Protein backbone atom coordinates (compact mmCIF):
# COMPACT_ATOMS: atom_id res chain seq x y z
CA UNK A 1 0.00 0.00 0.00
CA UNK A 2 2.76 2.41 0.89
CA UNK A 3 3.91 2.69 -2.75
CA UNK A 4 0.79 4.70 -3.62
CA UNK A 5 1.81 8.08 -5.06
CA UNK A 6 -0.35 10.88 -3.68
CA UNK A 7 -0.90 14.36 -5.08
CA UNK A 8 -2.00 16.78 -2.34
CA UNK A 9 -3.63 19.97 -3.66
CA UNK A 10 -4.32 22.89 -1.32
CA UNK A 11 -3.55 26.61 -1.51
CA UNK A 12 -2.81 26.58 2.24
CA UNK A 13 0.77 25.60 3.04
CA UNK A 14 -0.33 24.64 6.57
CA UNK A 15 -2.94 22.22 5.24
CA UNK A 16 -0.52 20.68 2.76
CA UNK A 17 1.99 20.08 5.56
CA UNK A 18 -0.68 18.56 7.83
CA UNK A 19 -1.94 16.20 5.11
CA UNK A 20 1.58 15.26 3.94
CA UNK A 21 2.77 14.62 7.53
CA UNK A 22 -0.31 12.50 8.22
CA UNK A 23 0.34 10.47 5.05
CA UNK A 24 3.95 9.92 6.14
CA UNK A 25 2.74 8.75 9.57
CA UNK A 26 0.55 6.27 7.70
CA UNK A 27 3.70 5.07 5.85
CA UNK A 28 2.84 6.70 2.54
CA UNK A 29 6.08 8.29 1.44
CA UNK A 30 5.37 9.10 -2.21
CA UNK A 31 3.71 12.50 -1.97
CA UNK A 32 3.59 15.40 -4.45
CA UNK A 33 2.14 18.82 -3.68
CA UNK A 34 0.29 21.43 -5.76
CA UNK A 35 -0.97 24.89 -4.77
CA UNK A 36 -4.13 24.94 -6.91
CA UNK A 37 -5.98 23.10 -9.67
CA UNK A 38 -3.81 24.43 -12.49
CA UNK A 39 -0.63 23.44 -10.67
CA UNK A 40 -2.17 20.02 -10.01
CA UNK A 41 -2.95 19.56 -13.71
CA UNK A 42 0.66 20.33 -14.57
CA UNK A 43 1.98 17.94 -11.89
CA UNK A 44 -0.35 15.16 -13.05
CA UNK A 45 0.75 15.59 -16.65
CA UNK A 46 4.47 15.71 -15.83
CA UNK A 47 4.80 13.33 -12.87
CA UNK A 48 1.51 11.42 -12.59
CA UNK A 49 -0.13 10.21 -9.38
CA UNK A 50 -2.17 7.27 -8.07
CA UNK A 51 -4.37 9.21 -5.67
CA UNK A 52 -5.57 12.81 -5.59
CA UNK A 53 -6.37 14.63 -2.33
CA UNK A 54 -7.76 18.07 -3.12
CA UNK A 55 -9.17 21.11 -1.37
CA UNK A 56 -12.27 22.77 -2.88
CA UNK A 57 -11.79 26.56 -2.55
CA UNK A 58 -8.60 27.63 -4.33
CA UNK A 59 -7.55 30.45 -6.66
CA UNK A 60 -6.91 29.87 -10.37
CA UNK A 61 -8.72 26.53 -10.53
CA UNK A 62 -10.75 25.11 -7.65
CA UNK A 63 -11.03 21.49 -6.56
CA UNK A 64 -14.36 20.91 -8.27
CA UNK A 65 -13.03 22.22 -11.60
CA UNK A 66 -9.93 20.06 -11.16
CA UNK A 67 -12.14 17.00 -10.52
CA UNK A 68 -14.13 17.79 -13.67
CA UNK A 69 -10.92 18.00 -15.70
CA UNK A 70 -9.58 14.74 -14.22
CA UNK A 71 -12.79 12.82 -14.90
CA UNK A 72 -12.98 14.09 -18.48
CA UNK A 73 -9.35 13.27 -19.26
CA UNK A 74 -8.54 9.95 -20.87
CA UNK A 75 -5.38 9.37 -18.86
CA UNK A 76 -6.69 10.11 -15.34
CA UNK A 77 -10.44 9.43 -15.58
CA UNK A 78 -10.29 6.66 -12.95
CA UNK A 79 -7.92 8.44 -10.56
CA UNK A 80 -9.18 8.10 -6.95
CA UNK A 81 -10.15 11.54 -5.62
CA UNK A 82 -10.68 12.55 -2.00
CA UNK A 83 -12.14 16.03 -1.52
CA UNK A 84 -10.90 17.68 1.71
CA UNK A 85 -12.77 20.89 2.42
CA UNK A 86 -14.38 23.20 4.97
CA UNK A 87 -17.59 23.07 2.91
CA UNK A 88 -19.96 20.70 4.66
CA UNK A 89 -23.41 21.67 3.40
CA UNK A 90 -25.61 18.98 1.90
CA UNK A 91 -25.61 20.81 -1.44
CA UNK A 92 -21.80 20.96 -1.49
CA UNK A 93 -21.46 17.22 -0.91
CA UNK A 94 -24.02 16.49 -3.64
CA UNK A 95 -22.18 18.82 -6.07
CA UNK A 96 -18.92 17.00 -5.33
CA UNK A 97 -20.53 13.57 -5.79
CA UNK A 98 -22.02 14.72 -9.10
CA UNK A 99 -18.47 15.48 -10.20
CA UNK A 100 -17.61 11.90 -9.15
CA UNK A 101 -15.21 12.43 -6.27
CA UNK A 102 -14.68 9.08 -4.52
CA UNK A 103 -15.12 10.42 -1.02
CA UNK A 104 -15.39 13.61 0.99
CA UNK A 105 -13.87 14.77 4.27
CA UNK A 106 -14.76 17.91 6.19
CA UNK A 107 -12.07 20.11 7.78
CA UNK A 108 -10.98 20.07 10.52
CA UNK A 109 -10.49 16.30 10.28
CA UNK A 110 -8.63 13.80 12.45
CA UNK A 111 -5.72 11.61 11.36
CA UNK A 112 -7.93 8.58 11.90
CA UNK A 113 -10.69 10.12 9.77
CA UNK A 114 -8.27 10.76 6.90
CA UNK A 115 -6.89 7.21 7.16
CA UNK A 116 -10.38 5.68 7.07
CA UNK A 117 -11.32 7.64 3.94
CA UNK A 118 -8.09 6.73 2.13
CA UNK A 119 -8.43 3.06 3.10
CA UNK A 120 -12.06 2.99 1.97
CA UNK A 121 -11.21 4.51 -1.41
CA UNK A 122 -8.23 2.19 -1.99
CA UNK A 123 -10.38 -0.80 -1.03
CA UNK A 124 -13.16 0.20 -3.43
CA UNK A 125 -10.67 0.85 -6.23
CA UNK A 126 -8.95 -2.52 -5.69
CA UNK A 127 -12.32 -4.24 -5.91
CA UNK A 128 -13.02 -2.81 -9.37
CA UNK A 129 -12.14 -4.80 -12.50
CA UNK A 130 -9.15 -3.41 -14.41
Partner 1 sequence: MGYPDHTAETQPMSMRNVVEVLFGIIPVLDQIKHSIEESTGTIPRVSTQLSNVAQATEMATVEILNVLDRMTARIGTAEETVQQLRDGGGNGGDSLTSIGQALADTRQDAMNIAMALQVQDITSQQIAGVSHMIETVRRQLLEALGHLDPSQVPAQVPGQAPATHFDVNASYTGAGERQQTADAIIKQWNKVDHE
Binding mask 48-87 for partner 1 (x = CB under 8 A): --------xxxx--x----------------------xxx
Q: Which of 7, 22, 32, 40 binds partner 1 (CB under 8 A)?
A: 22
Tell which residue, 35, 33, 41, 24, has the closest CA to residue 114: 24
- Strands of the chain, DSSP E: 6-9, 31-34, 51-54, 81-85, 103-106
> Longest C-alpha distance within the chain, in Å?
37
Q: Does 103 bind partner 1 (CB under 8 A)?
A: yes
The residue (of 7 and 83) whose beta carbon lies closer to partner 1 is: 83
Name the one range near partner 1 by CB under 8 A: 14-22, 27-35, 45-53, 70-78.
14-22
CA dihedral sign of residues 79, 123, 100, 27: negative
Q: Which of 42, 45, 77, 111 binds partner 1 (CB under 8 A)?
A: 111
User: What does 42-65 look like in DSSP terms, one character per residue?
Assistant: HHHHHH--SEEEE-S--SSS-HHH
The residue (of 30 and 113) whose beta carbon lies closer to partner 1 is: 113
Give me the numbers of helices (H) and strands (E) for the chain, helices first please: 5, 5
Interaction site with partner 1 (CB under 8 A): 10-12, 14-15, 18, 21-22, 25, 56-59, 62, 85-90, 93-94, 97, 103-111, 113
Amino acid sequence: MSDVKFLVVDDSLTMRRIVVNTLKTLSYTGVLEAVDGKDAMAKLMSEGADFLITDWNMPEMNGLELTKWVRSSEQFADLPILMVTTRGNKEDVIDAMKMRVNNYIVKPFTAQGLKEKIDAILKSVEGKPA
